[in-house]
Structure 1
Amino acid sequence: MDFNEQIKRLRKENNLTQEEMAKKLNVTRQAISNWENNRNLPDFEIIILIAETFGVSLDELILGDKKMNKIEQTLINDGKRTRAAKFNMVTTIIGSAFIILGIIFFLISGASVSYIDSNGFLHENFFLIPLGYLSLFVGIVIIIARIINSIRLAIKERKNN
């Protein structure tokens, strides 16, 4: 029995409408309908809540009478994709922050005044230029690494399908 059939069976065994089941699980009626019609799957936290609410084991709910089926593999793949998306977002933000920081260093360096004091010492913010280049370099390396990692994962996923 597939997951969508399990959800429908649990709902009918407990004499619930889609609306009533949705209220028990704090989701919309449309979510229940989508699960029952195999349009999408609930988050893993919701699957645990369903198992607890209706007193069934996760094995029974997810696997039904099969060993390993599509839903289990889909949940595993969704988890991997979610982690990859979070990693991509974080690395993009960090890389962009370094690039912006590098640009700021260059702007400050260009706007700052250099002068020679009465003792003949030159006063300038010379350290801002190398910091600007270093920040740009680090930002670009992080973003390139993220792109390479995304390409590697896409190739790996294509091979698995």
Structure 2
Amino acid sequence: MKLNENLISLRKDKRMSQQDLAEALNVSRQAVSRWEVGTAIPSMDNLLALSKLFGVPTDELMGADRGTDALESETVQGSGNIKGDSVLKVLLIILAAAVLAAAIVITYLNQKEVEPVEQNTVKFEELEEDEKISDSDAVKSGPIS
């Protein structure tokens, strides 16, 4: 049960009207009505006064009992895990995207490797006798075009 339902039930068990309860706590009848409707929550002082008046622990007054405590703690823990799982999934997606981007870049760079430039070199042994020049001729004439 929720706080507002507990208040109604406990008040009726004591055969009290909203006005009677309001007077016992020194609050307005409208305050009691808002608590019972669920549009407002009593202050901590009022919760303690309600607890004493009805003879129930504040946690029970707030709607917690042994059966729901375990369920609520699992729900809170579960919601924390869901958030943690969501963060983990986002991080894994980002990591996967980074790995994929790195693989694409590496593949692109490997394909773009420059093939050796063909050099305009001729082996000396393959030249005809009249095409051969000496070192001194090379210095005089400069590079062959």
Q: TM-score range by the shorter chain?
A: 0.3 to 0.5
TM-score (norm 2): 0.45
TM-score (norm 1): 0.41
Pair member with larger Rg: 2
